[in-house]
């Protein structure tokens, strides 16, 4: 699979993440056909920073905001998630309540 094909698949999955839900880099990689490509999902999302995709809804497997450095301020990602009603336990999203499994 070529990089552009994989990135396009990632973008389609991210566009489907429901309001008030999050998913993980690994879950996106798996549904795109390459379970071990979680890091590539991050690269794909970095390539579309400042787009209309809800990239703020993608977190690491623990619910931590590992991509927050790519937003305008260090708190913007969490602020966007909280504005959607997403709850945090310490510094991580409450994954039991807010995780969305892409299909």
Task: Name which of 5, 39, 44, 6 is nearest 25 in CA terms.
Answer: 39
Domain chopping of the chain, boundaries: 3-98
**Confidence class for position 8, pLDDT limits 50, 70, 90:** very high
Q: Tokens in use for 33?
A: 């056909």
85 — alpha (psi -120 to 50), left (phi > 0) or beta? left
pLDDT, tens digit, 9 for 90 and up, residues 42-101: 999 999 977 899 999 999 999 999 989 888 898 999 999 999 999 999 899 999 999 999
* Cα distance between residue 65 and residue 90, in whole Å: 12
Q: What amino acid positions are annotated as catalytic residues?
A: 55
Q: Which CATH number fits domain 3-98: 3.40.50.970, 1.10.10.10, 3.40.50.450, 1.10.4160.10?
A: 1.10.10.10
């Amino acid at each position: 699979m070529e990089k552009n094909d994989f990135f396009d698949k990632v973008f389609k999955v991210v566009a489907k993440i429901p309001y008030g839900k999050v998913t993980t880099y690994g879950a996106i990689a798996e549904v795109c056909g390459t379970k071990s490509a979680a890091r590539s999902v991050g690269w794909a999302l970095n390539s579309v920073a400042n787009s209309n995709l809800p990239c703020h809804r993608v977190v690491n497997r623990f619910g931590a905001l590992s991509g927050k450095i790519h937003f305008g301020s260090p708190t913007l990602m969490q602020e966007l998630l909280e504005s959607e009603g997403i709850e945090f336990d310490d510094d991580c999203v409450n994954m039991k309540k807010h995780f969305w499994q892409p299909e």
